[in-house]
A = this chain, B = another copy of it.
Amino acid sequence: MIILLTGMPGSGKGEVAKAFKKLGIPVVSMGDAIREEAEKRGIPKTPEGLKYVSLKVREELGPGAVAILIAPKLKNLLKKHKTVVVEGVRSPKEVEEFRKLFPNEEIKVLAIHSPPGARYERMRKRGRSDDPKTWEEFLDRDKKELNFGIGEVIALADYMIVNDDSFQKFKRDIEVIIRKILYFNHQ
């Protein structure tokens, strides 16, 4: 089974990925695929460089490019693991590409939802270099994700975790949903 993990920026995807890893389930990141591709092509891994690479691979391979890029790694992992997680899926074209590339594999979309205000606060607190510093930057970043079609991926998700309460509640909900996914799809 391939679990495609999606969610708006700051929704809490990292925490979910961590929970899967703790169970020994490998997590492959769509973002890392772009970084590795930049390295391969000798392009600097600056925000501009990475943006260039992600546009370039889409030009060359189509809108599902990142899915194609990580497919070999996924195939390898699926030899040893029943379940693999892909973090950072953001477009219906990518989901489609995964279904095309892995026709015999169960593919489930797991979305994390968190209201805009909470996501903004979370991102300001964590302060990664590319995290928005103002509400306007936050809206811009959201807009970029939405333009990839992430809203459609979320609207059609097979599983959804709502992260709008305490961190403890979120961690409990993550465990419940992971158990549910593994239970219902591994029979």
Bound: A8/B117 CA distance, A: 23
Contact A115 B157 (CB under 8 A): yes
Q: Would A160 and B116 count as touching, CB distance under 8 A?
A: no
Is A131 part of the binding interface, using a Cβ–Cβ cutoff of 8 Å? Answer: no
How many residues of chain A are within 8 Å of chain B by beta carbon? Answer: 22
Give the oligomeric copy count.
Answer: 2
A113 to B150, CA, bound (A): 15
Partner of A152, one of B111, B115, B151, B158: B151
Task: Please determine whether B164 and A160 come into contact, CB atoms closer than 8 angstroms.
Answer: yes
Is B116 within 8 A of A158, CB to CB?
A: yes
Interface 1/0s, chain A 103-124, versus B by CB < 8 A? 0000000010101110000000
